[in-house]
Homo-oligomer: A and B are copies of this chain.
Amino acid sequence: MKLAICEQFGIDFPLFAFSHCRDVVAAVTNAGGFGVLGATAYTPEQLDRELSWIDDHVGGRPYGADIIVPAKFEGKGENLSTGQLADRIPAETKDFVAKLLAEHDIEPEERPRLGGSSLSGDTGRDLLDVAMSHPIKLVANALGVPPDYMIEAAGERGIPVAALVGAREHAVKQVNAGVDLIIAQGTEAGGHCGEVSTLVLVPEVLEAVEATGKRVPVLAAGGIVTGRQMAAAVAMGADGAWTGSVWLTTEEAETAPHTQQKMLAASSRDTVRSAGRTGKPSRQLVSDWTDAWLPHDGGARPLPLPLQSMLVEPVLRRIDGLASQGHSGAQALSTYFVGQGVGLMNKVKPAREVVREFIEDYLAAAERLSGTLPD
């Protein structure tokens, strides 16, 4: 496509694909888009291995890494160990989880394990160092303005820094902090998201970024799983699209089979914005789990970052394991991050095929719109 961003990033089609799965990242990059590996769940050693694999499979084509370093989290500046953080998880929240599992016929574990504190921001620096030892062409960050060390280290190496924002004011803050690429992500997005819809947020952010006087490209995100939606965003002035959910039902994705089935069957109304997974509102498949964390009498309040995910990620992995063995209580509880676009995701396809369909659909949408113009 004839868009400045294609030249800037050395791509044919400005479709950015966020995925935790290296195969998806490589497939999208090889198909002319831009794959971005979600790095936060990896240890530095694991991340190094994944990125080396990608290097071996993309033949020098561009890809990036996404490292979440939250601007605010429990224990920030206190230099706490994971154990010290764990001590801040209240007993009543643990009891609430145990009761929820019991109600779904899931036995308590003798010594429930806690997850890592990757959402505490502590490991972000190590992951960044690993990522920058590979030929990445973008580093992305969510949950606030990237830390200075990210902007500085990336700047020294000429690697653009991208930031996800859910509000106009946040975009301005990011641009002023030196971010090179803004991702305006609407409330319909899977994972962490704000409250403003993509159709409103994108023109609002474009206007606000333009008013800063700096020329920073803006990608549209949230709900985009087809080329026609991407074309809609570009018609509004966006430079391209940032996507995530659509890759969860590709052949390459490591999505648990029962979760993939839920996604294929889901309508756009089967997601909810809930703090019950990470402590910050994120969009997920509706399930007994997300219902349990809705505000209600006798309910528990989700804990702040990173405590909620330390407590619940191992539980949700256990639930996924049981669900895949056919445990009905676990199947009712199981959930995963996904956006409202899930209503349009009805078939498992290779990632390469998704890119091809995006391009065709984008072209058809552009022709449809220009076909309405008076002679």
B269 touches A368 (CB 8 A): no
- Chain B contacts for A195, CB-based, 8 A: 269
Contact status B363-A373, CB under 8 Å? yes
Q: Mark A170-213, 1 if CB is under 8 A from B, else 0.
A: 00000000000000001110000011111111011001000000
B237 and A235 contacting across the interface, CB-CB below 8 Å: no
Q: Which of A204-240 contact B (CB under 8 A)?
A: 204, 207, 222-224, 226, 228-229, 231-237
Which residues in B have their C-beta under 8 angstroms from that of A3?
A: 372
Chain B binder among A125-133, A310-318, A340-348: A340-348
| CB atoms of A197 and B340 under 8 A apart | yes
Which chain B positions have C-beta within 8 A of A188?
196-197, 199-200
With A223-B199, A369-B234 known as contacts, the answer to whether A374 contacts B343 (CB < 8 A) is no
Interface bracket on A: 35 or more
Q: How many copies does the complex hold?
A: 2
> Closest CB of chain B to A294's CB: distance in Å?
9
Most-contacted residue by chain B among A167, A197, A201 (CB, 10 A): A197
Across-interface contacts of A203 in B (CB, < 8 A) = 226, 228-229, 344
Contacts of A186 on B, CB cut-off 8 Å?
Answer: 197, 199
A324: interface (CB < 8 Å): no
A82 adjacent to chain B (CB < 8 Å): no
When the two chains form their complex, are residues A2 and B204 in contact, meaning their CB atoms are under 8 A apart?
A: no
Residue A58 is within 8 A (CB to CB) of chain B in the complex: no
A241 → chain B closest CB, angstroms: 11
Instruction: Assess the B344–A267 pair: CB atoms within 8 A.
Output: no
What 1/0 mask marks residues of chain A from 341 to 375 whose CB sits below 8 Å from any chain B CB?
10110000000000000000001011111111111
Q: Which residues of A contact B (CB under 8 A)?
A: 1-3, 167-169, 186-188, 194-201, 203-204, 207, 222-224, 226, 228-229, 231-237, 267-269, 295, 339-341, 343-344, 363, 365-375
CB-based closest 6 A-B pairs: A232-B232, A188-B197, A370-B370, A235-B369, A197-B197, A235-B365
